[in-house]
Structure 1
């Protein structure tokens, strides 16, 4: 299965359908069934103590799988998260971008399953691991 959206088209589509997060994320690499996306950490992503908040880490995991699904299916704005499990394993580095390495484990007609490892930029050990399932709307 080939990519239906390249990184430039995918980011433009995300900016179009989710303008509220414009500038929050950058695609570092994209290939079939996998991508690396960055959370461009800003003050609004931090919790007291200067580390990235849990909701921001969740958002990165969620958008990583969403982007991976869209890259393979094309413009499907109504694909939605149906399940998420996330393990917060260690404290992220302070005021540092987070990197999500995402791979799709399954891409079916109605469901997609993705796995995400999240790292503080420049660190070798993950700060979080997530597994997400997305529902893909049926074709008309």
Structure 2
């Protein structure tokens, strides 16, 4: 995120410190309503951080999984939104080596990202170590 200068909207969900991140960043949370997302009874919650407004719909019942997340970047020009829909959860996936192998179709090529790494500040001129020198 830092090196490429890209926003990865749901990156925090991949952090093992997600609860602490939420505790540090969220300023308020409100219960909006009980509603339905694609036929699943869900609780709609709205939260605010300093830079992002967050809405999440969580399934009601014994599997309280996220159904939808909407992020609004309230300090960015135009207040862009990111929407993610979570359906057909699989909490016991069958994973084998093929899951992590890639078959690149003929004719495709890798797109290189030009990382925007911070430039080092020019070294400041150091005063002479000699005192009273010419």
Please classify the TM superposition score into its range, dividing by the shorter chain length: 0.3 to 0.5
Q: Larger relative contact order (C-alpha < 8 A, sep ≥ 6)? A: 1
Q: Which structure has the larger Rg?
A: 2
**Structure holding more helix per residue:** 1
Greater per-residue strand proportion: 1
TM superposition score normalised by structure 1: 0.32
Q: Structure 2 length as normaliser, TM-score?
A: 0.33
